[in-house]
Structure formats: structure tokens, C-alpha cells
Amino acid sequence: MNLREKYGIPNNAVITVAGTVGVGKSTMTTALAEALQFKTSLERVNDNPYLDKFYKDFERWSFHLQIYFLAERFKEQKKMFELGGGFIQDRSIYEDTGIFAKMHYDKGTMSEVDYQTYTSLFDAMVMTPYFPHPDLLIYLEGSLEDILYRIKERGREMEQETPNEYWQEMHMRYEKWINEFNACPVLRLNIKDYDIQEDPSSIESIIQAISNTIKNPLR
Ligand SMILES: Nc1ncnc2c1ncn2[C@@H]1O[C@H](COP(=O)(O)OP(=O)(O)O)[C@@H](O)[C@H]1O
Ligand SMILES: Nc1ncnc2c1ncn2[C@H]1C[C@H](O)[C@@H](COP(=O)(O)O)O1
């Protein structure tokens, strides 16, 4: 019996992994998909045509980047539900608007008219009764210090050149955002409480927690 069957996770479940840049979403997505024999929906960074430009000039590229991410995530969302679920998704569509677009608007690096165009498109696409929400959102959290360490360790050039205040602001906004999030059940995991890299067997206790939360959802 595999871990999915052992813990009664439905084979059509869609589980999304959320959290700030560098917290460990891709690592968790890959590990969970392998353990549950699910497919992955990964956030593609290397072939994103705007990301590098965006980090060099937020004001010039923030609208283009948000539209690009929205289109990519919507296509992924459609694919996951058309294929009948059984997916772990790296980052939720809710973070694009709730964290990134809002932060750039609030900080003045996205204009008011661009922000309104973006949010009206987002609302028309996502905030409808026809949009299927995931069965669970796993929220990964950790101290700012640990997040900064991981961003540095991963070494993506565009992120190294971004001032720490950017990551600090994002870290603070994530905490507020998750406390108000209610589009689907949430499982919060602190990165201090597991280490799937050093101890791959710790994935089992995470799957047990996923099962408990899907069966007794806390919003
Ligand atoms: N459980 C873990 N323990 C230690 N380091 C980790 C762990 N998970 C991820 N990392 C490291 O942290 C960095 C960011 O992880 P990643 O999964 O790419 O984050 P995200 O997808 O959230 O941006 C990578 O260098 C990765 O190897
Ligand atoms: N919606 C977004 N707006 C701006 N930047 C974004 C958005 N979604 C992801 N990003 C950036 C942040 C990172 O530099 C890369 C990949 O994110 P990660 O959390 O490392 O998976 O894209």
C-alpha cells in the first residue's frame, strides 16, 4: 500500500503549496508528488520572458509580469482539472494578486490603472463560482533569517541583486495574507519542524497532517 492509500488521500486531489520566495515550495512539491504518486505543476522560472527584466526595473515590467503569471497559472489550473486532479502545485494563483500585484501597487511600482486592469481580469477569471479551488493549500512559513539564507544559498542572480527590504516586506505581507485566507482549507508547516532533504522519511508525517486537514478542514 502506498502512502496516498495508507492515509486516504483522494487520488483526484489538487494540493497547492504556498509561501514566500525561497521558503521551499518547489522542493516540497517535488517530494510530495513523488511520495503520493501525483503529478506536479511547477512554476517555470528559467523561461519566463519578463522575470529578469522585472527585477531590474519593477515599474517598467510589473504589469507585464503579472499578466504573464496570471495566464500561465490559469492554463495550469485548467490542465489540472481537465486531467482529473492528482496534482501538487508549486505556488497558488491567489498569491499573485494577494501578495505580488498588491505589494507593487502599494509601493508605487505598479500604477493604479494597471492594478485595476489586472485585478478586474483576475476577478473575472478566478473569483467566479466556476473556478475550482484546490482541496488544500499547504502554507510553508519560516523566519526571515532562514528565508534570506535559502535565497542566498539558491543563488538566482536576479534575486541576489534585490535588496533585503523587498524580501522583508514580502515576508510580512505573507503572514497577514495567510491569516485572512479562506478560499480553501489550509495546512501550515513551519520549515523548522521538518527536513525533507536530510530526512526524506519525514514526508510521511506531513502526509498524515495533509490527510487530517483534508478530512477535518480548518480555514
Ligand atoms: N527542507 C529543506 N531544508 C533545507 N534547505 C531546503 C529545504 N527545502 C528547500 N531548501 C533549499 O532552499 C532553497 C529554496 O528552495 P525552493 O524549493 O527552490 O524554494 P521556493 O520554491 O519556495 O522558492 C533551495 O536552495 C533548496 O535547496
Ligand atoms: N506574481 C508574481 N509577481 C512577481 N514575481 C513573482 C510572481 N510570482 C513569482 N514571482 C517571482 C519570485 C521569484 O523570483 C520567482 C519564482 O518564485 P519562487 O517563490 O522562487 O518559486 O518568481
Q: State pTM to two decimals.
A: 0.96
Domain ranges of the chain: 3-212
User: Measuring from atom 17 of ligand 2, which residue has the nearest CA?
Assistant: 21
Catalytic option among 90, 96, 114, 135: 90
Give me the chain's average pLDDT, please: 95
**C-beta of residue 147 within 8 angstroms of C-beta of residue 23:** yes
* Grid-cell match 478560499, residue found: 183
Of residues 162 and 81, which shows the higher confidence score?
Answer: 162
User: In this predicted structure, what is the pLDDT of residue 218?
Assistant: 63
Architecture of domain 3-212: 3-Layer(aba) Sandwich (3.40)
Query: Tell me: the pLDDT tens digits for 5-53?
Result: 999 999 999 999 999 999 999 999 999 999 999 999 999 899 999 999 9
User: Phi/psi class of residue 85: alpha, beta or left (left: φ > 0; alpha: ψ in -120 to 50)?
Assistant: left
Q: Which residues line ligand 1 (CB under 6 A)?
A: 19, 21-27, 150, 153-154, 195-197
